[in-house]
Amino acid sequence: MRVLLVEDERTLARTIARGLQAEGMLTDVAHDGLVGLERALDGDYDVVVLDIMLPGRNGYDVCRSMRAAEAWAPVLMLTAKDGEYDEVDAFDLGADDYLTKPFSFPVLVARLRALVRRGGIARPTVLRAGDLALDPATREVSRGDEQIDLTAREFAVLHHLMRHRGMVVSKLDLLQAVWDLHHEGSENVVEVYVGYLRRKVDVPFGRQSIQTVRGSGYRLVGDGR
């Protein structure tokens, strides 16, 4: 397993690298975002451990640039920052996992092995399904050249469907992803919001990209003509 560690705290980087190598992981280290991005694009890495607060280019920018260049090695963000918005930013820019300092080294190793088992999954910065496009960073949605205005909840439902383009997503999956695990209302709220979305992203354009899979849920397809 080849690991790229991008961490500007040199003592910490040496400690992590030694630990990973003791676990049988061949580890290269970069101490700033510029070198880290160059190595991430040029090297054949199984996983990238990426700090957010880096000199040169921050971790968000490195991750965004990797995905824009279609470099799909799994990325684990490693940072002293915490809070849900930092996690959302990381995932929206194409990261695969997130770990906050201080962290348990065995947990880091377990997370990296899980990411490598999953492999490099395409996580483009702009999600596309045919001519429908969604940008998680700017929260813009368009079909062709026409911008589409969505509420925050509508955007979240469409985002989840586009992350799983071509796959069947159940109502429960959407409820847990867009609302929360403790939502006490009916699953019918999902139907309501899917209906809102269809009236905005499909009907005006003569499309049927959000399909109902009877008894299972919904599937977003690329063309939908």
Q: What is the CATH number of the domain that holds 173?
A: 1.10.10.10
132 and 110 part of one domain: no
75 and 161 part of one domain: no
Return the SS3 of 42: helix
Q: Is the pLDDT reported for residue 180 higher than 70?
A: no
Q: Sort 160 into a burial class: Cβ within 10 Å, 0-12 / 13-18 / 19+.
A: middle
pLDDT value, residue 86: 59
198 and 142 part of one domain: yes
Report the range of poorest mean pLDDT among 21-30, 120-129, 140-149: 120-129
pLDDT value, residue 179: 75
107 and 193 part of one domain: no
Give the confidence band of 90 by pLDDT, cuts at 50, 70, 90. Answer: low
Q: Is the pLDDT reported for residue 85 higher than 60?
A: no
114 and 132 part of one domain: no
Give the confidence band of 87 by pLDDT, cuts at 50, 70, 90. Answer: low
pLDDT value, residue 177: 76
Q: Sort 81 into a burial class: Cβ within 10 Å, 0-12 / 13-18 / 19+.
A: middle
Q: Sort 75 into a burial class: Cβ within 10 Å, 0-12 / 13-18 / 19+.
A: buried
Give the separation between CA 31 and CA 10, rounded to whole angstroms: 7
Q: Identify which of 135-144, 165-174, 197-206 has the greatest average pLDDT.
A: 197-206
CB 7 within 8 A of CB 13: yes
112 and 138 part of one domain: no
Q: Is the pLDDT reported for residue 148 higher than 60?
A: yes
pLDDT value, residue 126: 82
Q: Give the range of the structural domain holding residue 56, as residue numbers without chain letter.
A: 2-118
Cis preceding linkage at 124, omega within 30: no
Domain count, the chain: 2
User: What rounded mean pLDDT belongs to the chain?
Assistant: 87
Give the separation between CA 112 and CA 131, rounded to whole angstroms: 35
Residue range 11-57, pLDDT digits in tens: 999 999 999 999 989 999 999 999 999 999 988 899 999 999 899 99
Region 197-223: mean pLDDT is 93
108 and 136 part of one domain: no
Give the confidence band of 204 by pLDDT, cuts at 50, 70, 90. Answer: very high
Whole-prediction pTM = 0.59
Residue 225 lies in a domain: no
pLDDT value, residue 202: 95
13 and 98 part of one domain: yes
Plot region of 73 (φ>0 → left; ψ -120 to 50 → alpha; else → beta): beta
132 and 113 part of one domain: no
Q: Sort 107 into a burial class: Cβ within 10 Å, 0-12 / 13-18 / 19+.
A: exposed
pLDDT value, residue 43: 82
